[in-house]
Amino acid sequence: MAIDIFDKYASIEDRHRALLGIGGDPFGVKVDRIISATEALIDGRHTILVGTNNYLGLTFQPECVAAAKAALDTDGTGTTGSRIANGTYDRHTSLEAAFARFFNRQKAIVFTTGYQANLATICGLAGPDDFILADADSHASIWDGTRLSPAETVVFRHNDPEHLDRRLTRLEGKGQCKLVIVEGLYSMLGDTAPLAEFVEVKKKHGAWLMVDEAHSFGVYGAHGRGVAEAQGVEEDVDFIVGTFSKSLGASGGFAVANHPKFDLLRLASRPYMFSASPSPATMASVAEALHQIELRPELRTRIWANAEQLHSGLAALGFHLSAPLSPIIAIRMPDEATAVMAWNRLIESGVYVNLALPGGTPNGACLLRCSVSAAHEPAQIATVLGRFAALASELDSRRQAA
């Protein structure tokens, strides 16, 4: 009897079936209608969104919407091919120039997704005689970029510059270039990298440093350029990669650098060369979103105030929070069944958060992951905390009964 091609996923199927036995499907949520950057109708319920990564709330910004609509009228719905094959639109080059200006860098490249930005940059930078040194908690797109690269990958402990130092010491005299990859703000736990310490290690060993600022762009730093700006080490970071799908409210990615030969990636990196380029509407809305970030520093003030309100409120309720204050607030649950139950209670009460389970979390953690937005009103966060208070009471009752 022939083996079914999906038999390899039997354990995933069983695990998903068990999850559905507890309640709704956290990985198949159907949004009936988006009402605003912070609210939606889900299964007929008015729901506050606290898990969208819409950090600056720009998805409904009138200027961004108008720019996208205008681009549809003038340039159509898509580019229908890669820039290598179909050419470069003026919108591509003007958006790249805008990113270069924003980051005070000489070069910028835009990509169709943030995932592709990591794939293209990593496999383009690291060749067969090179080494990649990646933080153990790196995003899936970083790991897939390392797999696509012919370089050898070495893992170092999460946020541990001393361990990186020891790894690089062992590699002295081996290979050619060493590319160190870390994230500014880690998407699961909400902790930040000690970039200043990583910079010192990089300098000591003559390595190159790439920082993924996907979740920190727009939020950290005096100008919103990320954790590297906030920690005062921008000039020592060689390559910065980020996404359009968080603070910029769209879909796409970017990479910036000062290296004069950075544009060679356009001729050497397969994910860039063979992917259709970003659509005109995306490029237009992102260009305007960049302008809004520069124009409205108060957005960063608001998101940090909202983060403080939610973080301190959850801590006061006795929840185990995974990291100090950041726009990502991850609550540790004792086990998978409790996490799934808690997620169901929240969405039933009109609060959407992310459920993050082992396989996609560091060290097998079971998390309820929240992300705040500058668009949240204090009253909305107070409502969310009220729903979490009810959840805390139920969890306490279950513990006492156990």
Kindly list the domain boundaries of the chain, sorted by start residue: 10-49+297-401, 61-295
Enclosing H/E stretch for 381: helix 378-401
Topology of the domain covering 10-49+297-401: Aspartate Aminotransferase, domain 1 (3.90.1150)
DSSP character string of 148-173: HSSSEEEEE-TT-HHHHHHHHHHTTT
pTM: 0.97
Catalytic residue annotation = 187, 215, 246
Read off the tokens for 369: 């992951």
Q: How much is the pLDDT for 199?
A: 98
DSSP character string of 280-312: HHHHHHHHHHHHHHHH-THHHHHHHHHHHHHHH
pLDDT, tens only, 119-143: 999 999 999 999 999 999 999 999 9
Using a 10 angstrom Cβ sphere, with 0-12 exposed, 13-18 middle and 19 or more buried, the burial of residue 146 is buried
Name residue 41's amino acid. Answer: L
pLDDT confidence tier of residue 2, bands split at 50, 70 and 90: confident
pLDDT greater than 90 at residue 220: yes
DSSP character string of 203-230: HHHT-EEEEE-TTTTTTSSTTS--HHHH
Topology of the domain covering 61-295: Aspartate Aminotransferase; domain 2 (3.40.640)
pLDDT greater than 90 at residue 160: yes
**What's the chain's length in residues?**
402
pLDDT, tens only, 231-254: 999 999 999 999 999 999 999 999
